[in-house]
Chain A
Amino acid sequence: MKILLVEDNEMNRDMLSRRLIRRGFEVVMAEDGQRAIDMAASEAPDLILMDISLPIVNGWEATRSIRSNPATAQIPIIALTANATDTDRTEALAAGCNDYDTKPVDVVRLLEKINALLPSA
């Protein structure tokens, strides 16, 4: 299973990718919203973990763009943000995210959400 991890903070990217790899996922990474849109098409991941406060194109816009491209529209997206506000929750769902989680990531909880969205292999 291939996960596209979109995260601008280097340490968060490193930490989360290593923990996902340890659990057997293949992880590809994007550092900004534009790269995320490009890689969603070129890498065809099974799921996207999308940070929200991103440079160039933010997570909401990137999500909308991915949803509007028929080739990538069906990829499950989980929004990740440091702000545990209700506005974020509402916005994440409005932008087309399938689910939402807050940082710091609780890996057990995140894995539950990932597995719920992945096609059963």
Chain B
Amino acid sequence: MTDEIQKPPATAHETPTMLKVLLVDDQRIIGEAVRRMLRTQTDIEFHFCQNSGDALSTAETIKPTIILQDLIMPDIDGLEMVRRFRQNSTTAMVPLIVLSSKEDASTKADSFRAGANDYLVKLPEEIELLARVRYHCAAYNLRLQLDQAMTELLLQQKELEQQKLAAESANQAKSSFLANMSHELRTPLNAIIGYSEMLQEQAEDEGHPDYLPDLRKIHTAGHHLLSLINDVLDLSKIEAGKITLFLEDFSIKKAVDDVLALTQPLVQKNRNRLTLTGSPDAGTMHADALKLRQILFNLLGNACKFTSDGTVELHVAAHLTSNGNPGIRFTVRDSGIGMTAEQVAKLFQPFSQAESSTTRKYGGTGLGLSITKSFVELMGGQVHVESEPGKGSAFIVTLPLTVHDPEQPPQS
């Protein structure tokens, strides 16, 4: 089977397709000659038309892989036939070889101008005809495959874009749901906190001290729930890109003192010792004071939560930012349970505490550090962690002394 060798090797994923050769020639004898040449080729299907009217309709029906077109026909100029094939949507790109008894340069040139891809003088040798037919068919089939692959690719790309849009809108919906939900939850919570506070005042004034511990528990639990809701609200705003900075000049010492006062109850809870070291009288900074307090409170709160009968240290020091501007460094160091490298790695991801058992034992939403990191970065700073299991952790926050609003370009 020598003709098997001539076939292009079929790749694994492509099904061998029949090559459809359409010969348009008014002479039956030519038709028979070509048919004979192709007869041994098992993958070639031969079609023959003797007049122009049949040729186009046959082409539209069989969708040829290649067209062989005679130039001299009784009912039509062969070149006109070539042009019609080119204008027809089915055959516009199908390879077309002109078969002609003429051999002069101008006929060849006319043929190519009309849209032919190749030119053979009648009657070619079998080997030449086959070689040309196979060459053009292979090129055409590759082109079809490429077109199909491109179409599929564009379709997939379109689908992916739609999926991306859908995902973005779902994420937007989630953020706004969280924001609305948090807001709705706060209203009744305000009442719980307010009335329990009021009852405490009344219990004190009207001599019912035995009610006080329970009322304090309601009040504390209410505040705890409020801080969790606030975390969720903050995170939903961060995710929706709706956090803005409120920049002002403030005393670093005052901010630190405020946070330490707030932290005091947490320090006492696990019998820890809190120290302030370094140079807390570091002057003033231009930043979002509320967010700085929240950052420090989160870090100190965590340190107190994960340390018992130990020490929690807040160290304040001057610092140079990576681009040489004056900055400040806050280090919160504890002697608590510490973390492994794996735990540190996912520390700043929202909703991830070191382990779910940690959540059960220590509480919290697992949002604090994620929020802390976002706030620090929004102010142009960085946060690093150093930790060792059983030995404690250190969270190092560096911030520029003058924070610029990321939404407004810094003034020179």
Q: State the A residues within 8 Å of B (CB).
A: 9, 11-12, 15-16, 18-19, 22, 82-87, 89-90, 103-105, 107
Contact = CB atoms under 8 A, between A and B. Distances in A.
Contacts of A19: 194, 197-198, 201
A86 B246 contact: yes
Contacts of A83: 183
B194 A105 contact: yes
B183 A12 contact: no
B187 A82 contact: yes
A89 B191 contact: no
Nearest to A18: B198
B198 A15 contact: yes
B195 A15 contact: yes
Interface residues on B, range: 20 to 34
Contacts of A107: 197
A111 to B, nearest CB: 12
A11 B288 contact: no
Contacts of B359: none
A85 B230 CA distance: 11
Given A12-B194, A15-B194, A82-B190, A87 B244 contact: yes
A82 B183 contact: yes
A84 B237 CA distance: 12
B321 to A, nearest CB: 23
A11 B191 CA distance: 6
Contacts of A15: 191, 194-195, 198
15 contacts: A11-B195, A12-B194, A15-B194, A15-B198, A18-B198, A19-B194, A82-B186, A82-B187, A85-B244, A86-B245, A86-B288, A86-B290, A90-B246, A103-B186, A107-B197
A108 to B, nearest CB: 10
Contacts of B189: 104
Nearest to A19: B198
Interface in B182-216: 183, 186-191, 193-195, 197-198, 201
Interface in B146-197: 183, 186-191, 193-195, 197
Nearest to B184: A82
A113 to B, nearest CB: 16
A86 B244 CA distance: 7
Contacts, number: 53
Given A82-B183, A86-B246, A12 B191 contact: yes
A82 B190 CA distance: 9
Contacts of B198: 15, 18-19, 22
Given A15-B198, A86-B246, A89-B246, 20 more contacts: A9-B190, A11-B190, A11-B191, A12-B191, A15-B194, A15-B195, A16-B194, A22-B198, A82-B186, A82-B190, A83-B183, A85-B237, A86-B245, A86-B288, A87-B244, A90-B246, A103-B186, A103-B190, A104-B186, A105-B194
A92 to B, nearest CB: 12
A9 B246 contact: no
Nearest to A82: B186
Contacts of B186: 82, 103-104
B226 interface: yes
Contact of A104 (B194, B237, B290): B194
A98 B283 CA distance: 27
A41 B237 CA distance: 38
A107 to B, nearest CB: 7
A71 B6 CA distance: 103
Contacts of B194: 11-12, 15-16, 19, 104-105
A16 to B, nearest CB: 7
A117 to B, nearest CB: 20
Contact of B190 (A12, A18, A89, A90): A12
Contacts of B288: 86
Nearest to B198: A19
A9 B187 contact: yes
A100 to B, nearest CB: 11
A86 B230 CA distance: 14
Contacts of B190: 9, 11-12, 82, 103-105
